């Protein structure tokens, strides 16, 4: 019923994103209509089916080299690039810069480690934008992906005009669901806007839902024990060890 109200389309390929995210991607792509889009993280083709439908040409990168064999015939306007983006993405960016081409739309949804997300973004920030470029980064509510997004070298790229880590809010999973374990935090879109014109003001990386993120993290599997909790734990452990030590010495 809600899907009908939102006039959401039904997609054939499984798409690893929630309703809010799907709607956002559909509407953004529908208005941008990219000549060129780049996707990092093809997986089963879920997000690709929407990007490809709304773009003239797509370059989709994934470390899984079996993807082109499975999806290639479905997507005539997609060039599949197999390999780890740590190697493939810098090469792609240099060749686009040499050709004087840049994408209007980029989706970052590949390596979900802190370093992986940071390095993918940093490679993309070397693109020389020929026109406005929107970068959407998935899983900004996940503490590792979020840390990677925040650590990226935004300030040193003069073409970046705004960055919002909580463009679309994420989800807390109290129970396990699909690939999400119980107590985990996923989803959410970070968003950055780049233009060919250089920025003249200082850049602020916005986190409009930081308070919500921090509060949820406290009840999640990513909660870091505070110093006082750690010292309580240490004295408890010492109190357990003391009688054992004593009995060993007495014995
Ligand atoms: C979450 S899935 C992408 C989901 C897809 N965008 C969707 O919404 O349906 C992440 C994908 O990134 C790929 N990946 C992970 N680390 C990578 C890396 N270092 N280089 C290239 N691809 C990577 C995985 O093989 C996986 O297919």
Q: pLDDT tens digits for the chain (251 residues)?
A: 666 655 556 789 999 899 999 999 999 999 999 999 999 999 999 999 999 999 999 999 999 999 999 999 999 999 999 999 999 999 999 999 999 999 999 999 999 999 999 999 999 999 999 999 999 999 999 999 999 999 999 999 999 999 999 999 999 999 999 899 999 999 999 999 999 999 999 999 999 999 999 999 999 999 987 765 566 656 656 766 666 666 666 65
pLDDT at 224: 85
Please give the Cα distance from 172 to 180 (Å, whole number).
Answer: 9
Burial (CB count <10 Å: 0-12, 13-18, 19+), residue 174: exposed
- Neighbouring CB atoms inside 10 A of 247's CB total 9
pLDDT at 234: 66
Question: 184 — phi, psi (to 5°)?
Answer: -95, 165
pLDDT at 220: 98
pLDDT at 3: 64
Please give the Cα distance from 117 to 248 (Å, whole number).
Answer: 51
Local structure of 129: helix, strand or coil:
coil
CATH of domain 2-250: 3.40.50.150
- Neighbouring CB atoms inside 10 A of 117's CB total 30
Tell me which of 37, 41, 60, 64 to substitute to probe ligand 1's pocket, judged by most ligand atoms within 8 Å of the beta carbon.
Answer: 41
Closest CA to 165 of 150, 185, 151: 150
pLDDT at 10: 78
pLDDT at 26: 96
CA angle 38, 86, 80 (to 5 degrees): 40
Core vs surface per residue 140-168: b (16+ CB within 10 A) or e: bbbbbbbebbbbbebeebebbbbbbbbbb
Burial (CB count <10 Å: 0-12, 13-18, 19+), residue 233: exposed
Question: 200 — phi, psi (to 5°)?
Answer: -115, -10
How many angstroms is it from 46 CA to the middle of ligand 1? Answer: 11
Query: Do 75 and 95 touch, CB atoms closer than 8 A?
Result: no
The residue contributing the CA closest to ligand 1 atom 3 is: 41
Please give the Cα distance from 117 to 25 (Å, whole number).
Answer: 19
The residue contributing the CA closest to ligand 1 atom 16 is: 111
User: Could you tell me which residues come within 8 angstroms of residue 4 by beta carbon, excluding any fewer than 6 positions away?
Assistant: none
Tell me which of 53, 110, 122 to substitute to probe ligand 1's pocket, judged by most ligand atoms within 8 Å of the beta carbon.
Answer: 110
pLDDT at 90: 98
The domain segmentation of the chain, as residue ranges, is 2-250
Give the residues surrounding ligand 1 with Cβ less than 6 Å away. Answer: 15-17, 41-44, 46-47, 61-64, 84-86, 109-111, 116
How many angstroms is it from 108 CA to the middle of ligand 1? Answer: 9
Please give the Cα distance from 217 to 147 (Å, whole number).
Answer: 13
How many angstroms is it from 61 CA to the middle of ligand 1? Answer: 8
Burial (CB count <10 Å: 0-12, 13-18, 19+), residue 239: exposed
């Amino acid at each position: 019923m809600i899907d009908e109200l939102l006039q959401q389309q039904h997609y054939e390929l499984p798409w690893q994103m929630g309703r809010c995210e799907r709607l956002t991607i559909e509407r953004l792509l529908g208005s941008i209509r990219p000549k060129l889009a780049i996707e990092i993280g093809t997986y089963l083709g879920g997000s690709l089916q929407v990007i490809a439908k709304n773009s003239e040409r797509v370059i989709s990168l994934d470390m899984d080299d079996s993807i082109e064999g499975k999806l290639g015939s479905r997507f005539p306007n997609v060039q599949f690039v197999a390999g780890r983006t740590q190697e493939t993405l810098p090469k792609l960016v240099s060749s686009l810069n040499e050709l004087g081409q840049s994408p209007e739309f980029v989706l970052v949804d590949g390596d979900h480690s802190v370093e992986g997300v940071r390095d993918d973004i940093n490679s993309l920030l070397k693109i020389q934008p020929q026109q406005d470029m929107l970068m959407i980064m998935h899983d900004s509510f996940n503490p590792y992906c979020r840390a990677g997004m925040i650590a990226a070298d935004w300030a040193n790229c003069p073409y970046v005009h705004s960055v919002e880590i909580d463009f679309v809010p994420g989800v807390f999973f109290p129970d396990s669901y699909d690939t999400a374990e119980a107590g985990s935090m996923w989803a959410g879109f970070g968003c950055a806007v780049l233009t060919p014109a250089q920025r003249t003001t200082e850049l602020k990386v916005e986190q409009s839902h930081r308070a919500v993120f921090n509060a949820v993290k406290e009840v999640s599997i990513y909660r870091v024990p505070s110093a006082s909790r750690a010292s309580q734990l240490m004295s408890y452990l010492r109190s357990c060890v003391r009688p054992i030590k004593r009995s060993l010495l007495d014995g």
